[in-house]
């Protein structure tokens, strides 16, 4: 069963393959989630399906590594532009 929360989370780092999130609520490895980002090249938010690859708690924070499940070349390109706009290389 997928995670059902719609709260902003902190993005620790992001790449074409996935993202590391700092979250307030528990996620479990294997959870299917949907992430929404504001992208500079899109009018509407960039919505990406993903799966939780790992979860760890350290230093009083809960982090989750999430792998994107790319289904659309246009969304992948928008993600690339988002990463570039954020200054991740």
CATH number at residue 78: 2.40.10.220
In terms of residue numbers, what domain contains 54? 10-86
Say how far apart CA 75 and CA 16 lie, in whole Å.
11
Q: With 0.85 as the threshold, say if the pTM is over it.
A: no
Residue 3 lies in a domain: no
pLDDT digits (tens, 9 = 90+) for 11-53: 889 999 999 999 877 789 999 999 998 877 778 889 999 999 9
Residue 1 lies in a domain: no
Mean pLDDT, the chain, rounded, equals: 85
Residue 76 lies in a domain: yes
Residue 2 lies in a domain: no
Domain total for the chain? 1
- Triad 49, 2, 30: Cα angle to 5°: 80
């Amino acid at each position: 069963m997928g995670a059902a929360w719609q709260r902003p989370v902190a993005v620790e780092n992001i790449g074409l393959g996935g993202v590391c999130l700092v979250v307030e609520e528990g996620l479990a490895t294997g959870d299917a989630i949907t992430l929404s980002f504001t992208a500079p090249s899109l009018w509407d938010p960039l919505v990406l399906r993903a799966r939780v690859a790992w979860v760890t708690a350290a230093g009083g924070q809960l982090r989750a590594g999430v792998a994107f499940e790319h289904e659309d070349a246009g969304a992948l390109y928008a993600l690339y532009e988002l990463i570039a706009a954020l200054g991740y290389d």
